[in-house]
Amino acid sequence: MMYKVFMLIALPALAIGWIAYALWLRKIREEERNQPKPQSQRLVKTKTEVSDWAQKMAQFQPPKIKRTYDDEESARGQQDKPNKAQ
């Protein structure tokens, strides 16, 4: 008889406890999902380095190349254009 009374009280109490625990875990998961993910210092540092590099590349102006002709190039240019005196 004592066993039946114990089971009639313990089983519903255990079921209510598990339901309360499941609801509490669900609430915790929802709160964690709504919070932003923490970023490590290494990730933040890498992101700033990449953005700084991108800004430098956007402002980069390539140097202007000065055209200097070697003797070979000037000789080729003269061969392409024959002299009028000949």
Average pLDDT over residues 9-27: 97
pLDDT digits (tens, 9 = 90+) for 19-65: 999 999 999 999 999 998 888 999 999 999 999 999 999 998 888 88
Average pLDDT over residues 5-30: 96
Three-state DSSP string of 28-82: HHHHHHHCCCCCCHHHHHHHHHHHHHHHHHHHCCCCCCCCCCCHHHHHHHHHHCC
Token pair, residue 36, equals 């932003």
pLDDT at 24: 98
What's residue 30's pLDDT?
95
User: Is it the case that residue 71 has pLDDT exceeding 70?
Assistant: no
The whole-model pTM stands at: 0.44
